[in-house]
């Protein structure tokens, strides 16, 4: 077979290599469909660079019957052929095959992907093969684009990518149940004389876990480099079984010195709008596919978010609106209670019909590190609420006053001595600062229009499920 440098399918379909028309080129990829009659066959070939396929035209007279039989849905091919303008409708260019090599066959009796009709639930069971489908190809290309855009957004604004640790010894973050990390022999656990686990014999000589948030370490970065962000995996051992929770997910946590709550809100809104706009400008083909297949209003909803200001509202005002709502809630509403999903959904989807940033929550329902307001009752927390997916961002201005911070720690039962390194930020050169956390997969739910968070991460981790 003639050795020709491979061209990626996106370049052929986007017209980037039109100077090759009339010449022999090489493409490589996986077969999506094969159809035709006894004289001619059409193979739709996809290499993952773009959602669309290149059409390979095969004159059967010049090819071995045996090789054509082995070309089935899912097989991987190397194809040499002449790039020509297409005779048929539906594509601008196609490849008139001259030579075909089969890299790998896909047995039709056992290859689970077919030309038609797979549910997302079925594809979840074959997560190792689902990226070969149009849907998951689109989702994961968008996932990449969003990850890239996150780094670009922060780099352009002079934020530094800060690597907070994955393994942590601080369990005082209060953000959820943690996965323990240990090298102890679980069949023979060393015990102290009191009968407790003897962690002094463990790898770190103390009890450690996977991180539930990089925020506390992020604050150390902000109070030295000025503006930082983290972007990494996060782990929660909660027994959450919903379409919005994973036990392993990715989170972006910016943290900024000298930012007050207002600045924090502005950054959060700019950030989300930037990402959504980036998707609109750079992932058009994939978004159009997802819109056609799953969500007819996807693109208009994304455009709406980019073009409209988020509503900004104090918790107290939200309670007033909910109390006046002409709708019965399962959970009664009153000042001081945390908002339930039904309440958030009412505000975002019914009352305002746009994203809402809620601020100044009662201190009792928020984390200890949030800056206390002068009213003595509320803290400078902010939650960004989105239609369909609920809380997409949670953040706050941080308490920089060490006395107030220690007092809150004691209120909620955290031993200040165990957080000495954290309190040192307030002890030495403390400063006003703020930050927030954005759930990466929840952002992707919004951008792709998918409804189950397990469908926007390649290998979802949920209770009882760690396959692949």
Chain positions 57 to 116 lying near RNA, rule: CB under 7 A, are 57, 69, 72-73, 86-91, 94, 96, 108-109, 112, 114-116
Question: Least separation, in Å, of the C-beta of 45 and RNA?
Answer: 12
Among 246, 267, 298, 322, binds RNA (CB under 7 A): 246
Residue 332 lies near RNA (rule: CB under 7 A): no
Residue 419 lies near RNA (rule: CB under 7 A): no
Question: Least separation, in Å, of the C-beta of 183 and RNA?
Answer: 26
Which CB, 40 or 167, lies closer to RNA?
A: 40
Question: Least separation, in Å, of the C-beta of 294 and RNA?
Answer: 12
The stretch near RNA (CB under 7 A) out of 22-30, 160-168, 245-253, 400-408 is 245-253
Residue 336 lies near RNA (rule: CB under 7 A): no
Residue 158 lies near RNA (rule: CB under 7 A): no
Site for RNA in 25-64 (CB under 7 A): 33, 35-40, 42, 44, 55, 57
Which CB, 391 or 424, lies closer to RNA?
A: 391
Question: Least separation, in Å, of the C-beta of 260 and RNA?
Answer: 20
Question: Least separation, in Å, of the C-beta of 81 and RNA?
Answer: 11
Question: Least separation, in Å, of the C-beta of 295 and RNA?
Answer: 14
Closest C-alpha to 448, from 142, 244, 50, 151: 142
Residue 251 lies near RNA (rule: CB under 7 A): yes
The stretch near RNA (CB under 7 A) out of 7-15, 161-169, 423-431, 452-460 is 452-460
Residue 442 lies near RNA (rule: CB under 7 A): yes
Cα angle 456, 457, 463; round to 5? 110
Question: Least separation, in Å, of the C-beta of 453 and RNA?
Answer: 6
Which CB, 192 or 266, lies closer to RNA?
A: 266
Residue 363 lies near RNA (rule: CB under 7 A): no
String of contacts with RNA for each residue 119-148, x by CB under 7 A: x-xx-x------------------------
Site for RNA in 258-317 (CB under 7 A): none
Residue 342 lies near RNA (rule: CB under 7 A): yes
Site for RNA in 199-218 (CB under 7 A): 213
Site for RNA in 388-407 (CB under 7 A): 390-394
Number of residues that bind RNA (CB under 7 A): 73
Integer-rounded Cα Rg, in Å, for the chain is: 27
3-state secondary structure the chain: CCCCCECCHHHHHCCCCHHHCCCEEEEEEEEEEEEECCCEEEEEEECCCCCCCEEEEEEHHHCCHHHHHHCCCCCEEEEEEEEEECCCCCCCEEEEEEEEEEEECCCCCCCCCCCCCCCHHHHHHCCCCHHHCHHHHHHHHHHHHHHHHHHHHHHHCCCEECCCCCEECCCCCCCCCCCEECCCCCCCCCECCCCCECHHHCCCCCCEEECCCCHHHHHHHHHHHCEEEEEEEEECCCCCCCCCCCCEEEEEEEEEECCCHHHHHHHHHHHHHHHHHHHHHHCHHHHHHHHHHCCCCHHHHHHHHHHCCCEEEEHHHHHHHHHHCCCCCCCCCCCCCCCCHHHHHHHHHHHCCCCEEEEEEEHHHCCCCECECCCCCEEEEEEEEECCCEEEEEEEEECCCHHHHHHHHHHCCCCHHHHHHHHHHHHCCCCCEEEEEEEHHHHHHHHHCCCCHHHCCCCCCECCECCC
Which CB, 400 or 441, lies closer to RNA?
A: 441
Residue 239 lies near RNA (rule: CB under 7 A): yes
| Helix axes of 298-307 and 284-293: crossing angle, nearest 10 degrees | 130
Residue 241 lies near RNA (rule: CB under 7 A): yes
Residue 118 lies near RNA (rule: CB under 7 A): yes
Which CB, 429 or 458, lies closer to RNA?
A: 458
Question: Least separation, in Å, of the C-beta of 249 and RNA?
Answer: 4
Beta bridge partners of 83: 95
């Amino acid at each position: 077979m003639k050795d020709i440098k491979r061209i990626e399918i996106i370049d052929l379909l986007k017209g980037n290599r039109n100077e090759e028309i009339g010449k022999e080129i090489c493409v490589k990829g996986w077969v999506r469909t094969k159809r035709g009659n006894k004289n001619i066959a059409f193979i739709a070939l996809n290499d993952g660079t773009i959602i669309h396929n290149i059409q390979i035209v095969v004159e059967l007279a010049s090819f071995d019957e045996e090789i054509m039989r082995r070309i089935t849905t899912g097989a991987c091919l190397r194809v040499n052929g002449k790039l020509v303008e297409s005779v048929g409708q539906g594509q601008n260019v196609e490849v008139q095959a001259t030579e075909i090599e089969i890299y790998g066959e896909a047995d039709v009796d056992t290859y689970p992907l077919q030309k038609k009709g797979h549910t997302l639930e079925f594809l979840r069971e074959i997560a190792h093969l689902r990226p070969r489908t149009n849907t998951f190809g689109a989702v994961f290309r968008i996932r990449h684009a969003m990850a890239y855009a996150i780094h670009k957004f922060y780099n352009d604004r002079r934020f530094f990518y800060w690597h907070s640790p994955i393994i942590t010894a601080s369990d005082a973050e209060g953000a959820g149940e943690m996965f323990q990390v240990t090298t102890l022999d679980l069949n023979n656990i060393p015990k102290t004389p009191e009968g407790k686990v003897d962690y002094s014999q463990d790898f770190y000589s103390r009890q450690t876990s996977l991180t539930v948030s990089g925020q506390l370490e992020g604050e150390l970065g902000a109070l030295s480099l000025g503006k930082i962000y983290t972007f990494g995996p996060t782990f929660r051992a909660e027994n959450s079984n919903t379409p919005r929770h994973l036990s392993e997910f990715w989170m972006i946590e910016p943290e900024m010195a000298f930012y007050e709550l207002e600045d924090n809100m502005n950054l959060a809104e700019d950030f989300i709008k930037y990402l959504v706009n980036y998707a609109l400008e750079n992932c058009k083909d994939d978004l159009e596919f997802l819109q056609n297949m799953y969500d007819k209003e996807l693109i208009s909803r994304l455009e709406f978010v980019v073009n409209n200001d988020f509503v900004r509202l104090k918790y107290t005002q939200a309670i007033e609106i909910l109390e006046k709502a002409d709708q019965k809630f399962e959970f009664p509403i009153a000042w001081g209670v945390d908002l339930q999903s039904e309440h958030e959904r009412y505000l975002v989807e019914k009352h305002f019909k746009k994203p809402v940033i809620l601020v100044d929550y009662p201190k009792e329902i928020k984390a200890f590190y949030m800056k206390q307001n002068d009213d003595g009752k509320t803290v400078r927390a902010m939650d960004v609420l989105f239609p369909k997916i609920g809380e997409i961002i949670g953040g706050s201005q941080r308490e920089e006053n060490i006395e107030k911070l220690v007092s809150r720690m004691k209120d909620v039962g955290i031993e200040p001595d165990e957080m000495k390194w954290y309190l040192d930020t307030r002890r030495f050169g403390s400063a006003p600062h703020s930050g927030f956390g954005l759930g990466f997969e929840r952002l992707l739910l919004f951008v792709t229009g998918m409804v189950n968070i397990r469908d926007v991460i390649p290998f979802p981790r949920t209770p009882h499920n760690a396959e692949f």
